[in-house]
Structure 1
Amino acid sequence: MQLSDFSYHLPEELIAHYPLAERSASRLLHLDAQGQFHDQHFTDLLDLLDTGDVLILNDTKVMKARLKGKRASGGAIEVLVERLTSPNTAYCHIKASNAPKAGVEIFIGPDLIPAKVQGRHENLFIVEFSQPVLEVLEQYGQLPIPPYFNREAEAIDTERYQTVFHDPNKLASVAAPTASLHFDQKLLKQLQDKGIQEHFVTLHVGAGTFLPVRVDNIENHVMHSEWCEVPASTVDAILAAKSRGNKVIAVGTTATRALESAAQAHGGKLAAWSGDTQIFIYPGYDFKVVDRLITNFHLPESTLLMLVSALSNRDNILNAYQHAVAQRYRFFSYGDAMLIDRLQHA
């Protein structure tokens, strides 16, 4: 399939630059198992999900991963921490007028905290900080909100670009699992009261989630690596749900990739697993775990649009997106949501 097969026109004004006043106030476009779509509200999930179904949520937490700094010469530099490799060392993206070489010292924040570029790891820089990385991020970092917001992070993002259920000990993502941003505590409690179970996986989202696909034939695309974990308790809940005929609803593409990676690692059978994943899901993929997906609207020609097209199909997704544009849905991280059912083939 060609990259251009996943293009669509999106008016700039439909990109949501700020969240709604209430998390669960978003609209929801339901794309059903026959490929038909229905305009709903996010709180309609209470009617759209069944007692005994299992919601799978990603409990990662977003780091204040973006740091401003300078070189010894005074030149401006921006560091985006991608992944911690030790308390004081991280793989990073660095924006500068010239790529820094190994041994170059840089200085972070207004207090000029020293850090040293140690070398490269693939397309990332290995940076050793003079203080623990998480402490530096907490003091000087900004939330790495998506580039299409066209603004700096603001106070509202500190709360709203995090899920209400994140695990504070899993502070390692550089982007939010944005489908989960629609859930507030009230809606989660209502779902629990209906008997809809919540279980967690972890996938630490990398900055590669924002990188464009740079090949024409999508099968030649190589995904960035991200760490994930699917615990035994979540696996047990999923297998029990499937045995009684209930559905597994992944909240977000990250939860989907974690679940399908765990199955892929065990020959197609879901089992507990943790490790790095580079799974690339596009049309033709046979889902092993996920029955339904709650997700946001995704960028044209993105791997995320390809993933959702694999669950339904490309034509159904693009038709639904065309409808969403016509109906003035809000797009991307702070936008509205979709519920996509796995397509039933005749």
Structure 2
Amino acid sequence: MRSSELDYDLPTELIAQHPAHRRDASRLLVCDRATGAIRHRTFSELPGELDRHLVVVNDTRVVPARLHLRRQTGGEVEVLLVEPLGEGSWEALARPSRRLRQGESLQASDRGSQGSPVELVEELGEGRWRIRLEGEPSGELPLPPYIREQPDDPERYQTVYAHDAGSAAAPTAGLHFTPELLARLDHERVTLHVGLDTFRPVTTRTVEEHEIHGERYRVNPSAWARIHAAERVLAVGTTTTRVLETIARGRPLEGRSELFITPGFEFLRVDSLLTNFHLPGTTLLALVMAFAGVELTRELYALAIHERYRFYSFGDAMLVL
């Protein structure tokens, strides 16, 4: 598949800057592949669209991973924690990275809430560093660059069922659920800690040439037993989809998923997909195209733009049955 097939034009004003006033008040574009029917609903009406589905969510929690720091020379540095490596070490992105030096200690800047110093342990290339941090991170939530300001309530960038901290970004399809709505659904939880490489643009000539990096996942045996036996499974988001399809291929219940889902992929356990509208040129959009079909995905995105749906992390959702 040519990478250019992941492109589409989106009016800037459709990029949602704030979450809906109520989580389940966002819009829901429903596509029933069996009948070809298209419906415009609100997210609170999701239960009425499901038939004998077990709903599977990703209960990862976003780390306050954006640290505003300064060098001893006074220069400001932004460090974004990507993944814990154990014993206080993290893989991180630092910018500007070119002048930083191994062994250097960075202190909290006037902008930051991170109290402990950060030590640059080892340069990993492409702006990545292995760093050492004392205690738990206490920076800002790592909102995507297209969202220009932090939400008034930081919990709006967490799902209501977020539990296991470890993600550099939210599994955004789950942001629409309220506790009351979730209680109406038969559901199970899995965990996949979202890394920034999920959102890294595809820059290779073909999608298949793109290298996707692994992300940590974990599924309880009892949860997988229910998921495996379910008549129909609705995956909430692309991250949940990757977990389920990884394990369905015989991988262990805990590990790293390097599964790259592109058009032509055979889905073994996911029957329906709930997802937000994704950026062009990303592996997330490639996964949606793999599930719904390239042309149908293009049609649904064009319809969503025409109907003025809100896009990206704080935007509306799409259900493909």
SS in 1 for 2:146: helix
Shift in CA distance, 294/80, structure 1 to aligned 2, threshold 3 Å = same
* Worse-superposed segment, 102-111 or 315-324: 102-111
Are 2:122 and 2:129, in contact at CA under 8 Å, matched by a contact in 1? yes
Code of the aligned partner of 1:312: A
Inter-partner Cα distance in structure 2 for 1:235 and 1:120: 38
C-alpha contact (below 8 Å) 1:16/1:331 kept by paired residues: yes
1:186 aligns with 2:180: yes
Instruction: Show CA shifts across 1:7-64 (max 9, x none).
Output: 111100011100011000111111222454322221221211124x211000110111
Structure 1 residue 336 corresponds to structure 2 residue 313 = no
Match of 1:155 in 2: 152
Structure 1 pair 50–3 and aligned structure 2 pair: CA distance change class (3 A): same
Partners of 2:214 and 2:256 within 8 A in 1? yes
Instruction: Could you list the structure 1 runs, at least 4 aligned residues long, displaced by more than 6 angstroms after superposition.
Output: none
The yes-or-no answer on 1:199 pairing with 2:184 is no
SS in structure 1 at match of 2:314: coil
Aligned-residue offset at 1:97:
5.8
Tell me the number of residue pairs that the alignment of Structure 1 and Structure 2 aligns.
316
The two structures have a TM-score, normalised by structure 1, of: 0.87
Matches within 5 A, 1:158-307: 158-167=154-163, 170-191=164-185, 197-241=186-230, 246-266=231-251, 273-307=253-287
Deviations, residues 177-196 of structure 1 (Å, cap 9, x unaligned): 100000001211223xxxxx
State the SS of the aligned residue for 2:117: strand
Alpha-carbon contact 1:77-1:94 (below 8 Å) kept: yes
Contact kept? 2:173, 2:236, Cα under 8 Å: yes
Partner of 1:116: 119
For residue 231 of structure 1, report the CA deviation from its aligned partner. Answer: 2.0
**Secondary structure at the residue paired with 2:16?**
coil
Aligned to 1:39: 40
Q: How many angstroms does 1:248 deviate by?
A: 0.3
Could you tell me how far apart the structure 2 residues matched to 1:181 and 1:112 are?
A: 29
Output the CA distance in 2 between the equivalents of 1:112 and 1:50: 50
Query: 2:217 and 2:24 mapped to 1: Cα distance?
Result: 27
1:148 and 1:277, CA in 2 relative to 1: closer, same or farther beyond 3 A? same
- In structure 2, list runs of 5 or more residues that go unmatched: none
Distance of aligned partners of 1:337 and 1:185 in 2 relative to their CA distance in 1, 3 Å threshold: same
TM (normalized to structure 2)?
0.94
How far apart, in 1, do the equivalents of 2:178 and 2:253 lie? 28
- Root-mean-square deviation (CA, aligned residues, Å) is 1.6
- Matched residues in 2 for 1:38 and 1:332: separation? 20
Determine if contact 1:249/1:291 at 8 Å carries over to the other structure: yes
Whether the 8 Å CA contact 1:248–1:290 is kept in 2: the answer is yes
